[in-house]
Amino acid sequence: MGLFRSMQVFVTTVQEGSMSAASGKLGISPAMVGQHVAALEERLGTRLLNRTTRRQSLTDFGKSYLEQCRDILERVAIADQDAEASQTKPRGLLKVTAPTTFGAEVLMPALPRYRKIAPEVMLDITLTDRNVDIVDEGFDIAIRIGDLPDSRLIARRLAPYRMMICASPDYLARHGNPAHPSALSGHETIGFTPAVRSPWRLSKGKEEVEVVPRLPISVNSGQAVRMAARAGLGIVMQPAILLASDIRAGLLVQLFPDWHLRERPMSLVYHRDRRMTPRVRSIISFVISEFAAEPESPTNRPAE
């Protein structure tokens, strides 16, 4: 077995916590994972892992060897990146993560334009509302909504995430159309789980209203919130990009169109020390050109 490949398998086994988990990550059988680790142990003349039927743990030598393997694999990855950087055409695997709603409704429909620019780039896209650690989880870039506390990342501002309050015609026929935002506290509202504790803040000129909505239903999917609103279950506050088509179709009615809802910042983030390979440069340029609110200075600024 190749020594380099066995090192990769060993490191992945430790990271994933078991051989079966590593097999799923690597796309090989658990038996093959075991053979790679056993081959390393035979070559080194000592055990790397203490294994039982329920758990595994590193031996003292295994801990030291793990760090050396990680260093070797990192050096090889850097060499590969340097080789790619010497080329001018974007190619290779690009790992991207974005919020679920933005990714499904905005990013994915825009990708045919990126594919024309970089047809040899393979995209691995993860849509999640979890705030992933892109450094530890191996992503090249992330699109994030909200504040950016991680100073390890470079951030580029995109157009802010505009919110909208809506309800179905059926709900409004049964419960009445609230004439003022303060009346929302007496209505049924549907919450998006990551933000259920946040008050709804609206402003119009100098007038500001903060409403703590009554939430008999909350759900962890923007699409599910949208469908619940269409079904007449209550009033929702969701991204305009998610609700606009239903408003045009008459399935939902926008409430308080003259009031301003606090926008949420949206940013493109990537590694502070990331080597700018052609594929990484290509996706950064594309996302900024598609979604930036206004032209930015070419100097990247750290996430705050």
Question: Each residue of 255-282: pLDDT tens digit?
Answer: 999 999 988 889 999 987 656 788 898 9
If you average pLDDT over residues 222-235, what whole number do you get? 93
**Listed residue (263, 264, 273) closest to 302, CA to CA:** 273
Average pLDDT over the chain, rounded to whole? 86
Residue 263 DSSP code: P
Residue 76: per-residue pLDDT: 84
Q: What is the pLDDT of residues 160-184, one digit of tens each?
A: 888 999 999 999 999 999 999 999 9
If you average pLDDT over residues 16-21, what whole number do you get? 88
pTM reported for the whole predicted model:
0.61
- Phi, psi (deg, nearest 5) at residue 150: -85, 105
Instruction: Answer whether residue 213 shows pLDDT above 60.
Output: yes
Q: Tokens for 130?
A: 């979890």
Residues 127, 100 contacting (CB under 8 angstroms)? yes
Give Cα separations from 12 to 40, 69, 243 (angstroms). Answer: 14, 11, 42
Q: Tokens for 155?
A: 């951030």
Instruction: Answer whether residue 146 shows pLDDT above 90.
Output: no
C-alpha atoms less than 13 angstroms from C-alpha of 218 in its C-beta half-sphere: 11
Instruction: Answer whether residue 300 shows pLDDT above 90.
Output: no
Lowest mean pLDDT across 16-25, 72-81, 203-212 = 72-81
The number of angstroms, rounded, from the C-alpha of 209 to the middle of its chain's C-alpha atoms is: 31
**Listed residue (282, 222, 228) closest to 251, CA to CA:** 228
3-state helix, strand, coil in the chain (%, to 5): 40, 25, 30
**Listed residue (233, 22, 278, 219) closest to 101, CA to CA:** 219
Q: Which of 96-100, 294-298, 299-303 has the highest mean pLDDT?
A: 96-100
